[in-house]
A = this chain, B = another copy of it.
Amino acid sequence: MSFSNIMDSNSYSPDHPVDPVTGSMIAARARMLGPAYRLFYDQPVNLVRGEGTRLYDIDGACFLDAYNNVACVGHCHPHVVEAASRQLATLNTHTRYLHRGIIDYSERLLATLPDKVDQVMYACTGSEVNDLALRVAAMHTGATGVVITRDAYHGNTATTTAISPSIGGATIAGPHVRIVAPPDSYRIPADELANRFTADVSAAIADLQSAGFGMSALIVDTIFSSDGIYPDPLVLAPAVAAVHRAGGMFIADEVQPGFARTGEAMWGFSRHGVLPDIVTMGKPMGNGLPIAAMAAQAGVLEAFANDIPYFNTFGGNPVTMAAAAAVLDVIEDDGLLDNAASVGGLLRAELTGMTEDHPRIGEVRGAGLYIGVEVVTESGAPDRTGAKSLVNAMRERRVLISVCGHDGSVLKIRPPLVFSRSDVDWFCTEFAAALASSF
């Protein structure tokens, strides 16, 4: 098998020598889980414990986690553990019975969203809610055409795989899908970003209309995670206006940027000054328990929800609602939005200062605690090999990051939101050493 896609840029290759314990676990996975599974790093990590921004492997070695957004309030946060464990021991059923958990959480969640985004449905994964969002948009618009970015990732169901070219391999965008370039702030002048993106989206809409699919939805991750992390604000507004003029829906995929990650707002779309018709969210929502949600304007949801009963066995159950409520508690009580802004700003500033004159680091960019570092060749081209070397050098120094972007050449730095100033120091010390050893 061979892939040349983003997902595999940081994958372990079977030809890489590892210690016997690691080797036997890799062999057991290959035998029982088959060839679709991937491990990170040339030397996969064998983790047994987590706490805050720290992860510990089987030998007791301590890693700094600068990658995992799912554990947004920190690994094994006691408030979340306690809330979920207590509910697990009390009751865990489904939404065909009444329960306060889903009602109370929905009040709180909807209060973080624009007033017009006033209804919410629950599922277990980002894939499920993006799949649902596409159906809701199609029912509302009577159209099926979808516009996505070049290296989008929106899920692993059949329907969301068709809008996720970043998966690579044999994955092919569906005939109803049009692909536009992301707002690549490294290669496109800032004052042209919005115009180019809008022009591309408008052309895609026209093409979908003339092909008979019609315009159903523009769906984007509002910080363009898999495309390479493009944080420039306000870029989306004119494109969304064009989508609305064509009768289409704007689906803000907040699975990665949502829940305070960007430091400037609870939701990534807010930074763009746009009002989504549908908002999807997942990964960090329950700090690791499987929970996801699709929020929508009631008028947009109506055609779908009136015609099709929807039941998700585990979606919105008391345990995941308790975990999700505890996550909101910590985000609010510990000021994690502000922390993402200030600590993320510090980390970007330190990395920028450290790499300003480095010929192989093209740019450090990001918002809050979502940071991309553009690794380039001496001639300025995307450097997949260099990025991979840096990621593995960081792993050897016990700091976990990964890569993203079309060429797998952008370092993806996306730590738990409780990342501290001393974590920044730790990260930067190791990054300086990794940089020195990699080029």
Compute how far the CA of A196 lies from the CA of B342 in the bound complex, rounded to whole angstroms. 69
Of A75, A93, A169, most buried by chain B (CB within 10 Å of CB) is: A93
| Residue A49, interface by CB 8 Å | yes
Q: Mark A116-136, 1 if CB is under 8 A from B, else 0.
A: 001111011111100110110
CB distance from A69 to the nearest CB of B (A): 10
A3 partner residues in chain B, CB cutoff 8 A? 309
Q: Mark A289-327, 1 if CB is under 8 A from B, else 0.
A: 111000010100110111111111110010110000000
Contact across chains for A157 and B156 when beta carbons are under 8 A apart: no
Contact across chains for A99 and B47 when beta carbons are under 8 A apart: yes
Contact across chains for B76 and A119 when beta carbons are under 8 A apart: no
Contact across chains for B126 and A127 when beta carbons are under 8 A apart: no
Contact across chains for A126 and B313 when beta carbons are under 8 A apart: yes
Contact across chains for A309 and B38 when beta carbons are under 8 A apart: yes
| Residue A282, interface by CB 8 Å | yes
Contact across chains for B81 and A290 when beta carbons are under 8 A apart: no
| Residue A33, interface by CB 8 Å | yes
**Of the 9-residue stretches A103-111, A211-219, A263-271, which lies at the interface with chain B?**
A103-111
Contact across chains for A88 and B84 when beta carbons are under 8 A apart: yes
| Residue A159, interface by CB 8 Å | yes
Contact across chains for B95 and A37 when beta carbons are under 8 A apart: yes
Compute how far the CA of A107 lies from the CA of B301 in the bound complex, rounded to whole angstroms. 43
The listed residue (B31, B47, B70, B171) touching A91 by CB distance below 8 A is B47
Compute how far the CA of A320 lies from the CA of B320 in the bound complex, rounded to whole angstroms. 12
**Of the 9-residue stretches A20-28, A272-280, A348-356, which lies at the interface with chain B?**
A20-28
| Residue A46, interface by CB 8 Å | yes
A26 partner residues in chain B, CB cutoff 8 A? 98
The listed residue (B37, B96, B159, B313) touching A159 by CB distance below 8 A is B159
Instruction: Give the contact-size bracket for chain A.
Output: 35 or more
A287 partner residues in chain B, CB cutoff 8 A? 92
Q: Mark A38-57, 1 if CB is under 8 A from B, else 0.
A: 11100011111110000100
User: With A97-B45, A98-B44 as given contacts, are A33 and B311 in contact (CB-CB < 8 Å)?
Assistant: no
Interface residues of A in 45-83 (CB under 8 A from B): 45-50, 55, 68, 70-71, 75-76, 78, 80-81
| Residue A85, interface by CB 8 Å | yes
| Residue A5, interface by CB 8 Å | yes
Contact across chains for B91 and A81 when beta carbons are under 8 A apart: no
The listed residue (B49, B169, B298) touching A309 by CB distance below 8 A is B169
CB distance from A102 to the nearest CB of B (A): 7
CB-based nearest B residue for A10: B96
The listed residue (B32, B39, B107) touching A119 by CB distance below 8 A is B32
A45 partner residues in chain B, CB cutoff 8 A? 97-98
Contact across chains for B33 and A119 when beta carbons are under 8 A apart: yes
User: With A76-B89, A76-B92 as given contacts, are A25 and B100 in contact (CB-CB < 8 Å)?
Assistant: yes
Contact across chains for B96 and A32 when beta carbons are under 8 A apart: no
The listed residue (B29, B36, B97) touching A46 by CB distance below 8 A is B97
The listed residue (B8, B44, B100) touching A97 by CB distance below 8 A is B44
Q: Mark A153-194, 1 if CB is under 8 A from B, else 0.
A: 000111101000001111100000000000000000000000
CB-based nearest B residue for A159: B158
Top-6 shortest CB links A-B? A36-B305, A85-B85, A170-B307, A290-B314, A92-B288, A290-B290
A40 partner residues in chain B, CB cutoff 8 A? 96-97
User: With A98-B45, A102-B33, A313-B126 as given contacts, are A159 and B156 in contact (CB-CB < 8 Å)?
Assistant: no
CB-based nearest B residue for A12: B96
Compute how far the CA of A157 lies from the CA of B319 in the bound complex, rounded to whole angstroms. 23
A310 partner residues in chain B, CB cutoff 8 A? 36-37, 156
Compute how far the CA of A246 lies from the CA of B120 in the bound complex, rounded to whole angstroms. 44
| Residue A436, interface by CB 8 Å | no
Compute how far the CA of A57 lies from the CA of B71 in the bound complex, rounded to whole angstroms. 33
